[in-house]
Amino acid sequence: MAQEEKKPIVAPYVPWSTFYGLIQSLRKDMPAAIDRSVLRDGRSGQQAYELDTGLRFLGLKNADDTPTELLKQLVTATDEAATLREVLVRAYEPKLKLAALKTMTPALIQQHLSQFGNTGSTLRKARKFILEAARAAGVELSPRLKVRAMPARRARGPGKPRRAKAELPSGRDGAAGSGPTAREVGLLEEILKRHKDNPEGLDQWLEGVLYMMRKEMTQQA
């Protein structure tokens, strides 16, 4: 049996949605090794690196890239929240106790996370990761520790019609979005010629545009 690698110092700072998406994909298909080819599937190189360090920190990946027994338990668990909570306890305690999140302040949690070696942006991202992971694990959080939830899509009322999309102006052949006609281009060129010697006459230029457009619309009608 492969020996598990000691967890890195730095706490996970990968986006929780990226991490959770990987876990869900492993539920469907657990590879023999969670190597770079698996982590890069549909993700950037930076995301793959952050996933790799996060998996190692949480004790979900061995030194030879094989999945640990803890990861297998997580992806097959019927009570995902309870198993995830066990994963977090093993990885973060005693430096950061999950039970303490109930009364912890933002400054305190950053102080605890800095013990893992996170600084700057990785410290801020590590804070967001543990809060979202803890919430998914059913851990009670202090109201001072804000975790942004995904906004719900607002449903339209029963009598509220869908707003129609604005139609693009028709081109020479009447097709939407086909561009201006030669006549329209000529009108604009004529306006530019009339006002090019009067750079301060912007109001006159606009009036000229409106006048020509109204005139053209009247002729077409």
Give the pLDDT confidence score for residue 7 in this predicted structure. Answer: 47
Give the pLDDT confidence score for residue 153 in this predicted structure. Answer: 42
Core vs surface per residue 113-139: b (16+ CB within 10 A) or e: beebebeeebbebbbebbbbbbbbbeb
54-63 pLDDT, tens digit each = 999 999 999 9
Give the pLDDT confidence score for residue 152 in this predicted structure. Answer: 41
Tell me the CA distances in angstroms from 188 to 33, 176, 209, 210, one per residue in order: 64, 20, 7, 11
Mark whether 36 and 125 lie in a shared domain. Answer: yes
Is 59 among the domain residues?
yes
Stretches where the chain sits below pLDDT 70 are 1-9, 147-221
Is 96 among the domain residues?
yes
Tell me the CA distances in angstroms from 107 to 72, 82, 110, 145, 220, one per residue in order: 35, 27, 5, 10, 68
Give the pLDDT confidence score for residue 146 in this predicted structure. Answer: 75
Mark whether 99 and 203 lie in a shared domain. Answer: no
C-alpha Rg value of the chain to the nearest Å: 30
Query: What residues make up the domain containing 101?
Result: 16-136
DSSP H or E segment with residue 56: helix 45-57
DSSP track, 82-130: HHHHHHHHHHHTTTS-GGGGGT--HHHHHHHHGGGT--HHHHHHHHHHH
Mark whether 22 and 119 lie in a shared domain. Answer: yes
Is 171 among the domain residues?
no
The answer to whether the beta carbons of residues 10 and 57 sit under 8 Å apart is yes
What's the rounded Cα separation, in Å, for the pair 32 and 67?
7
Mark whether 32 and 124 lie in a shared domain. Answer: yes
Is 63 among the domain residues?
yes
Mark whether 118 and 43 lie in a shared domain. Answer: yes
Number of domains in the chain: 2
Mark whether 102 and 199 lie in a shared domain. Answer: no
The crossing angle, in degrees rounded to 10, of helices 120-136 and 80-92 is 140
pTM for this prediction = 0.62
Helices (H) and strands (E) in the chain, counts: 9, 0
What's the rounded Cα separation, in Å, for the pair 42 and 20?
14
